[in-house]
C-alpha cells in the first residue's frame, strides 16, 4: 500500500499498530553469537531428539527451511545447517526491551514474545509514530521488526506480514478490502489449513473471492460462522486492542521422547517432574485446579486425552501426580510404546474467589 504522509490524522477511527519481530529467535541468538552471522542457521530441537525448527535465518530459508519443519527434514534440505537451542532468558530479555518501547506509545496487547498490538488511536499522526517505533526498536535493540498500521487488528496483522523482513505497511481507512483482495485466504487469522482447504473446494482462494462469494453457499459449509468469515475477508473487524488478557485457563507440559518409551518407571518419573512444575506454576499464581488431564501419543502418532475432575481444587504436586497415574493406568496396558506424554490442568480458580462466597 502506498504510504501517504499528508493524510489528515482524523481519518483514523481507530489506529492499530501490529509489530512482529523478524526471525526473532534466530536474531536474538545472533546478538550473542555474532560469529554465526551469515550462516544458514535455525533455532529449534535437535534432529536426533525429534526436534522441529522454531525459527530459521533468511539464509536457511533459501533452502526451503521454515518453522515447524522437523529438524531432520531441514538437515536433509541443507546438510550444513547449524541448529541451536532457544535461549529463553536472552529471548525474554530482548522481548521485554521491545515491549517497553511499545508501551511508551499507547496501551499494548502482547500476543507472544515477538508480537504485539499497540493502540495509536489517540495519536495525532499514527503513521509518523509507526515509523518511529520501528526505527527505535531497531536502534535500541539492533533487532529487525516489521510493522503494520491499520484501522483494525485483523488488517494491521496482515499488513505487518506483507513486506517482511523490516517491512512497514500502512493500510489507510477505506483501503482494507482492496489491500486484502489479492491475498490468499490463509492470511486471515483464524483461517487455517482445514478451512482454506474447504474453501478451495468451492473455488475460493483469495480474500477478494471470499468477500464477494455467495453468502448462502458459504453458510452451507460454515453455518453461522460464514458471515463473520466474509466480513473478515473484507477487512471488517471490531475487536479492540486490550491489554487485559484475563486469567490463565490452563497450564500444561508435554514431552516427546527421543525414543518411544514403555518403561513404567521412566513414564512415572516424567509424570512426577511435570506434576512438580505444574504445581509450582499454580502456587506462583495462587491458583488451584479442578481438572487434571493426561495426554498420550502412541508410537503410530495416534493421540488422545483423558481427564478427571475433582470437587476440591488442588495445587498439590502429589495429588496431581497420583491422579495422572490413575489415568495412565486406566489407559495404558503396559506394553504399548509411548511417543509423547503430557500432563495439564484446567478449571483454574483462585481460592480467594471461593472465600468470598462465604459472605465475608
Partner DNA sequence: TCTGGGGTCCTAGGACCC
Q: Could you list the residues that contact DNA (CB under 7 A)?
A: 45, 50-52, 54, 67-68, 70, 72-73, 111-115, 157, 188-196, 224-225, 246, 248-256, 281, 290-291, 300-301, 303-309, 340, 342, 344, 347
- Cα(147)–Cα(251) distance, integer angstroms: 31
In the complex, the smallest distance separating the C-beta of residue 338 from DNA, rounded to whole angstroms, is 12
- Give the residue with the Cβ less far from DNA, 125 or 268: 268
Nearer to DNA, 308 or 325 (CB): 308
ω into 346 cis (within 30 of 0): no
To which H or E segment does residue 360 belong?
A: none
Helix/strand/coil for 16: strand
Give least dist CB 4 to DNA, A.
Answer: 27
Cell numbers representing residue 188 in the block: 486471515
Residue 25 beta carbon to DNA: minimum distance, rounded to whole angstroms: 10
As a whole number of angstroms, the distance between CA 226 and CA 166 comes to 34
Task: Choose between 123 and 288: whose C-beta lies nearer to DNA.
Answer: 288
Q: Smallest distance, Å, CB 9 to DNA?
A: 28
The DSSP annotation for 158-197 comes to HHHTTT-SS-EEE--TT-HHHHHTTSBGGGSTT--HHHHH
Residue tagged 496396558 (cell numbers): 333
Look-up of cell digits 525448527: 53
- Distances in Å between the Cα of 246 and the Cα atoms of 112, 242, 243, 249, 357 are 15, 10, 9, 9, 21
Complex with DNA: residue 58 or 257, whichever CB lies closer: 257
Catalytic residues: 115
User: How many residues in the chain?
Assistant: 360
Nearest to 296 by CA among 335, 258, 328, 333: 328
Minimum separation from the CB atom of position 294 to DNA (A): 9
Least distance between DNA and beta carbon 69 (Å)? 9
Q: Which is nearer to DNA, 7 or 256 (CB)?
A: 256
Task: Rank residues 15 and 341 by Cβ distance to DNA and give the closer one.
Answer: 341
Spatial distance between the Cα atoms of 118 and 166, rounded to a whole number of angstroms? 18
**Beta strands per DSSP E along 97-164:** 108-112, 115-119, 145-150
Q: Name residue 115's beta-bridge partners.
A: 20, 112
Amino acid at each position: 500500500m502506498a504510504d501517504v504522509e499528508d493524510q489528515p490524522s482524523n481519518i483514523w477511527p481507530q489506529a492499530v499498530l501490529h509489530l512482529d519481530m523478524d526471525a526473532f529467535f534466530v536474531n536474538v541468538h545472533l546478538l550473542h553469537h555474532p560469529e554465526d552471522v551469515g550462516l544458514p542457521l535455525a533455532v529449534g530441537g535437535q534432529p536426533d531428539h525429534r526436534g522441529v525448527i522454531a525459527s530459521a535465518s533468511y539464509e536457511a530459508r533459501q533452502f526451503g527451511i521454515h518453522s515447524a519443519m522437523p529438524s531432520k527434514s531441514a538437515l536433509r534440505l541443507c546438510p550444513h545447517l547449524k541448529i541451536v537451542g532457544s535461549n529463553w532468558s536472552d529471548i525474554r530479555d530482548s522481548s521485554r526491551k521491545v515491549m517497553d518501547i511499545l508501551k511508551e506509545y499507547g496501551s499494548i496487547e502482547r500476543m507472544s514474545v515477538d508480537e504485539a498490538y499497540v493502540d495509536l488511536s489517540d495519536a495525532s499522526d499514527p503513521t509518523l509514530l509507526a515509523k518511529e517505533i520501528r526505527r527505535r526498536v531497531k536502534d535500541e535493540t539492533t533487532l529487525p521488526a516489521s510493522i503494520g498500521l491499520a484501522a483494525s487488528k485483523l488488517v494491521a496483522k496482515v499488513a505487518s506480514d506483507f513486506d517482511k523482513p523490516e517491512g512497514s505497511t500502512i493500510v489507510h481507512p477505506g483501503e482494507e478490502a482492496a489491500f486484502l483482495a489479492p491475498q490468499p485466504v490463509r492470511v486471515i487469522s483464524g483461517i487455517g489449513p482445514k478451512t482454506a482447504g474447504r474453501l478451495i473446494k468451492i473455488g475460493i482462494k483469495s480474500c477478494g473471492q471470499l468477500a464477494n462469494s455467495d453468502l448462502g453457499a458459504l453458510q452451507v459449509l460454515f453455518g453461522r460462522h460464514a458471515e463473520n468469515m466474509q466480513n473478515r475477508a473484507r477487512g471488517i473487524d471490531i475487536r479492540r486492542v486490550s491489554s487485559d488478557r484475563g486469567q490463565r485457563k490452563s497450564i500444561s507440559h508435554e514431552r516427546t521422547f527421543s525414543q518411544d518409551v514403555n518403561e513404567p518407571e521412566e513414564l512415572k518419573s516424567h509424570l512426577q517432574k511435570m506434576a512438580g512444575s505444574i504445581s509450582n506454576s499454580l502456587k506462583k499464581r495462587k491458583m488451584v485446579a479442578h481438572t487434571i488431564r493426561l495426554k498420550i501419543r502412541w508410537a503410530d502418532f495416534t493421540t488422545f486425552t483423558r481427564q478427571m475432575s475433582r470437587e476440591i481444587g488442588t495445587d498439590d504436586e502429589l495429588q496431581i501426580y497420583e491422579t495422572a497415574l490413575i489415568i495412565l493406568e486406566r489407559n495404558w496396558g503396559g506394553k504399548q510404546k509411548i511417543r509423547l506424554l503430557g500432563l495439564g490442568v484446567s478449571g483454574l480458580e483462585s481460592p480467594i474467589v471461593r472465600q468470598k462466597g462465604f459472605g465475608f
